[in-house]
Amino acid sequence: MNEFILKVPKVELHLHIEGTLEPEMMWMLGDRNQIQLPYPSVDAIRRAYRFQDLQSFLEVYYAGMSVLQTEQDFYDLTWAYLQKAQQQTIRHVELFFDPQAHTQRGIPFPVVYYGIHQALQEAQKQYGLSSQLILCFLRDRPPASALQTLEQALPYRAGIRAVGLDSAERDYPPSHFRFVFERARREGFLTVAHAGEEGPPSYIWEAIQLLRVSRIDHGVRCIEDPQLLAYLQQTQIPLTVCPLSNVKLRVFDQMADHNLKTLLDLGIAVTINSDDPAYFGGYLGENLEAAQTALHLSQAEIVQLLKNAIEAAFVSAQRRTDLLTELESFVAQSGPVPSETPWSES
């Protein structure tokens, strides 16, 4: 990977912890928990990671989760991601988790929560890697189930910064979850929502106006609505864009067609993230590199994307300043890259 991209301090804001389940770990946990997987080998799991759209991915994603059974499993999953994050110089991460995908299989909420939480605490201690946890409701399950999940989460609210909305988007508009999100905000949670990944721009408006989100996850279909573009530009509501995910799930045919540079040029607060890195071919570094290569992003544009993520993070003013200072001193010490100089490979 390009040395600058690997070593520059980074912030990740759109990462499903269940989407970091690499085939090797799925196989190991299947064995450990005596879970029969529908695949004969690790290679066969990897071969199944070919998707036509969001729905075809979600089927594999939810099936894979069946191997996650104990608090130790959730700890091991999270710790493996955090080690990867540390290798890629990620300094702060905001992780989604999907409790309903586990509680509906009979795994108690605290088993899921504590496994993830303990690993996050350990990464803060060992690496100084800060984090926030975001509880996602599955939008293709009834709002009553989301409300029940929110109530299960209340005893753990000190460790959960925000609630979000994910899973199948088409035909599941944010408006269905208005009252759940109102309750979450009354309980002190910030809000985010996946919108405008496969769904129309009207879902982005609903997320903003009805769910009062601080950020939009994906949001790339905002490009179809000039008024929305103007609004996002004016308000600087951030978009957590996931380039490799968008290509794997055929939101864009190829990386060169991705609209993130156009959005960046319009002054929209775009950030780059990995979504489900085990399934989509790369972690944050690979996402930055793939976008940089295909869209010919300059180093200044990469730095702008990283600054946007720091601005959009759910951190204290002090932590934000520290993250910005670390980024700026890294950039200053790595020296200016003249625009005509090709990016060096390592």
Ligand X SMILES: Nc1ncnc2[nH]cnc12
Choose the contact partner of 161 out of Zn ion, ligand X, none; CB within 5 to 8 A by kind: none
Residues 40 and 198: their CA atoms lie apart, in Å, by 32
Q: State the CB neighbour count (10 A cutoff) for residue 239.
A: 29
Determine if 166 is a binding residue for ligand X (CB under 6 A). yes
Active-site option among 12, 197, 206, 289: 197
Determine if 18 is a binding residue for Zn ion (CB under 5 A). no
Determine if 94 is a binding residue for Zn ion (CB under 5 A). no
Which run of H or E residues covers position 306?
Answer: helix 299-312
Task: Kindly indicate which of the ranges 106-114, 179-187, 199-207, 268-276 contains the residues binding Zn ion, using the contact rule CB under 5 A.
Answer: 268-276
Q: Which DSSP state fits 49?
A: -
With tokens 């988790």, the residue in question is: 97
Determine if 276 is a binding residue for ligand X (CB under 6 A). yes
Choose the contact partner of 197 out of Zn ion, ligand X, none; CB within 5 to 8 A by kind: ligand X
Q: Which DSSP state fits 2?
A: -
Mark whether 197 is an active-site residue.
Answer: yes
275 is in an annotated binding site: yes
Choose the contact partner of 19 out of ligand X, Zn ion, none; CB within 5 to 8 A by kind: ligand X
142 by Cβ neighbours in 10 Å (0-12 / 13-18 / 19+) ranks as exposed
Indicate which single residue of 275, 289, 301, 322 sits in contact with ligand X (rule: CB under 6 A). Answer: 275
The terminus-to-terminus CA distance of the chain in angstroms comes to: 6
Task: Give the 3-state secondary structure of residue 92.
Answer: strand
Count of residues making up the chain: 346
What amino acid positions are annotated as catalytic residues?
A: 197
Residues that bind Zn ion (CB under 5 A): 275
- Positions that interact with ligand X (CB under 6 A): 16, 19, 54, 61, 166-167, 194, 197, 245, 275-276
Q: Which residues are annotated as a binding site for Zn(2+)?
A: 14, 16, 194, 275
Annotated binding-site ranges:
14, 16, 194, 275-276
